[in-house]
Amino acid sequence: MQTVAENSARIVLDLTSITLRLHDLEYIVLNLTTLANQMARYRLAEADVSAYVQIAAGAASFVSPKESSCLYMQYNVLFEEINKCVFP
């Protein structure tokens, strides 16, 4: 990445390049960081969510997750979505 002017940056890969304003580049980097964090949290919760879905699929009312379950998931929202699929 090279700085073209004070307010822009050029990103070059082989013979292809794009020029972005620094504000736009900061926005992209922030969003990519946010998405990477979100994906890491989903990976942490994957096993807990799978176990919860198996338990909650047969329940008529909200089932609280185990105390050791991942804290990043909104289990009440997940339960509602499971019920929409199981009991349409």
**Residue 26 token pair:** 């900061």
Domain that holds residue 51: 2-86
Are 49 and 78 within 8 A, CB to CB? yes
Tens-place pLDDT, residues 49-69: 999 999 898 888 999 998 888
10-25 pLDDT tens trace: 889 999 999 999 899 9
Of 54, 88, 87, 41, whose CA–CA distance to 63 is shortest? 54
The domain tally of the chain equals 1
Instruction: Give the CA distances from residue 87 to residues 8, 30, 40, in Å, rounded to whole numbers and listed in that order.
Output: 53, 39, 31
Query: 75-86 vs 22-56: helix axis angle to the nearest 10?
Result: 60
